[in-house]
């Protein structure tokens, strides 16, 4: 009873949490498997941002419960945001669930599984399900373990590093402050040490994670010469040998002060890609959402970032159909969305989340109208993205080689602008930064051929090929 399958719903923070749980479990002798049908323990790391995400996880748990009827020793665990939000109430509809573990208790999962395992191996009755959603001081420091590649597997090229958890923003549509707790930051030296360790194992790209990542350390560290703690952290990670690219998510527009904008111009490892949540382009709706910026301020941030890096790529979050959103409000959102010319966007139809201010508001927008507004923005995004990728045909882009693509016949990597690329390559180039000549493009994917002159693999061999012209536009 030691084979574990972890299914993750939701954001990159959840992905990172699952990875840390997997690393801790492997350290205890558990096997992490890729096939849920081959596991003894199913862990669902859940999301509560939208009702649809919760319903998917509940449906999966219900399906797994049927298996438990056939295999009484089969263990089902629900972790993360939905566990934190619903707590023991999950057991009212899913009494066969063994573990309900909240967002500040991920590090306790191995111990709880050990207890369940020992009881079953001894033939003892299990008793009540384990529910642990209590707050725990210092829990932000426990998400630090990474799942090392198994022998013979491709090396890890990029990694998520959790730097901050929780949120104090109190946006009226958002359940995150309830599921993740108050803002808490990890010590800067611990984060830098984690990044340095990852670099020593071959990681070339780091993505710093937090609920409001740009708020990192604001209560723990001083601003120095106008430089925020978050930018100080970026500077320290930038100094690490072996780390070639730095990204971060998810920020808040209020975090983009002059020091962060300037960092894009002076820190070459900081990729020219920004996720900048807008949520709405209407000042009236932004106030209703309790978002402390205006459409004018948001647009100035976009312009400042494009001034610092003219080749900047942008993604965003948008909610359509927020309670009380009129056609005029939506039109302001559409105008701002179009003028910002996003390369990627996460567009959501407003979903009622129990326990939030917005859930109690009148004047809910009809579902059909939410769908229409959603599609209007998706059409704009499709057009923008198609134009941006088409403009890259004929250029040469720096690509970090991740590994084989889904087919196993070709390789995949990403540009600095976070565009997925597909190409032929030698496995020895995994983890290398290589020039890729772009030959064709779809809406979201680039296809090309490597320009290999002067590119060294991990064994120190140099591959020769005709040189191409330098990149004409960074992607």
Contacts 24+ apart (CB under 8 A), 409-413: none
Question: Is 47 known to sit in a ligand binding site?
Answer: yes
Ramachandran bin of 138, using left for φ above 0, alpha for ψ from -120 to 50, beta for the remaining angles: left
How many CA atoms are closer than 13 Å to the CA of 341, on its beta-carbon side? Answer: 11
Question: Is 421 known to sit in a ligand binding site?
Answer: no
Instruction: Compute the radius of gyration of the chain from its Cα atoms.
Output: 23
Element (H, E) at 413: strand 411-415
Question: Is 340 known to sit in a ligand binding site?
Answer: no
3-state secondary structure of 350: coil
Strands 41-46 and 411-415: unpaired
Question: Is 81 known to sit in a ligand binding site?
Answer: yes
Residue linked to tokens 């479990």: 25
CA distances in angstroms from 231 to 14, 191, 219, 251, listed in the order given: 24, 13, 14, 12
3-state secondary structure of 130: strand
Angstrom distance (rounded) from CA 412 to CA 401: 6
Question: Is 174 known to sit in a ligand binding site?
Answer: yes
Angstrom distance (rounded) from CA 292 to CA 20: 33
Annotated binding-site members: 11, 47, 81, 167, 171, 174
Annotated binding-site members for [4Fe-4S] cluster: 11, 47, 81, 167, 171, 174
């Amino acid at each position: 009873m030691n084979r574990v399958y972890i299914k993750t719903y939701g954001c990159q923070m959840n992905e990172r949490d699952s990875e840390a749980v997997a690393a801790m479990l492997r350290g205890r002798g558990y096997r992490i498997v890729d096939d849920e049908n081959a596991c003894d323990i199913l862990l669902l790391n859940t999301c509560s941002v939208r009702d649809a995400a919760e319903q998917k996880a509940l449906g999966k748990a219900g399906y797994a419960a049927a298996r438990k009827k056939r295999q009484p020793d089969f263990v089902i665990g629900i972790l993360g945001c939905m566990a934190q939000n619903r707590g023991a109430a999950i057991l009212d509809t899913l009494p066969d669930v063994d573990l309900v573990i909240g967002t500040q208790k991920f590090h306790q999962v191995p111990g709880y599984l050990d207890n369940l395992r020992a009881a079953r191996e001894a033939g003892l009755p299990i008793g009540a399900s384990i529910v642990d959603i209590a707050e725990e001081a210092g829990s932000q420091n426990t998400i630090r373990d990474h799942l090392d590649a198994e022998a013979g597997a491709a090396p890890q090229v990029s990694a998520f590093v959790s730097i901050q958890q929780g949120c104090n923003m109190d946006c009226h549509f958002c359940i995150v402050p309830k599921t993740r707790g108050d803002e808490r930051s990890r010590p800067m030296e611990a984060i830098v040490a984690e990044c340095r360790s990852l670099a020593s194992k071959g990681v070339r790209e780091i993505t710093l994670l937090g609920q409001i990542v740009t708020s990192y350390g604001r209560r723990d560290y001083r601003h120095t010469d106008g430089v925020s703690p978050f930018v100080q952290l970026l500077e320290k990670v930038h100094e690490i040998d072996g780390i070639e690219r730095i990204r971060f998510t998810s920020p808040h527009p209020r975090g983009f002060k002059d020091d962060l904008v300037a960092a894009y111009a002076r820190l070459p490892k900081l990729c020219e890609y920004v996720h900048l949540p807008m949520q709405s382009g209407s000042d009236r709706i932004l106030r209703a959402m309790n978002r402390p910026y205006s459409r004018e301020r948001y647009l100035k941030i976009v312009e400042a970032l494009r001034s610092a890096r003219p080749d900047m790529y942008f993604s965003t979050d948008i909610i359509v159909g927020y309670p009380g959103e009129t056609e005029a409000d939506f039109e302001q959102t559409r105008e701002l969305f179009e003028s910002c010319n996003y390369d990627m966007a996460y567009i959501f139809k407003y979903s009622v989340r129990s326990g939030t201010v917005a859930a109690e508001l009148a004047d809910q927008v009809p579902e059909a109208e939410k769908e229409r507004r959603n599609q209007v923005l998706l059409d704009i995004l499709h057009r923008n993205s198609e134009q941006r990728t088409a403009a890259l045909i004929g250029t040469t882009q720096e690509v970090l080689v991740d590994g084989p693509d889904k087919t196993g016949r070709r390789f995949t990597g990403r540009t600095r602008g976070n565009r997925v690329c597909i190409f032929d390559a030698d496995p020895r180039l995994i983890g290398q930064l290589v020039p890729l000549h772009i030959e064709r493009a779809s809406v979201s994917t680039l296809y090309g051929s490597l320009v290999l002159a002067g590119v060294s693999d991990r064994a120190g061999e140099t591959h020769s090929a005709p040189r191409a012209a330098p990149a004409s536009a960074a992607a």
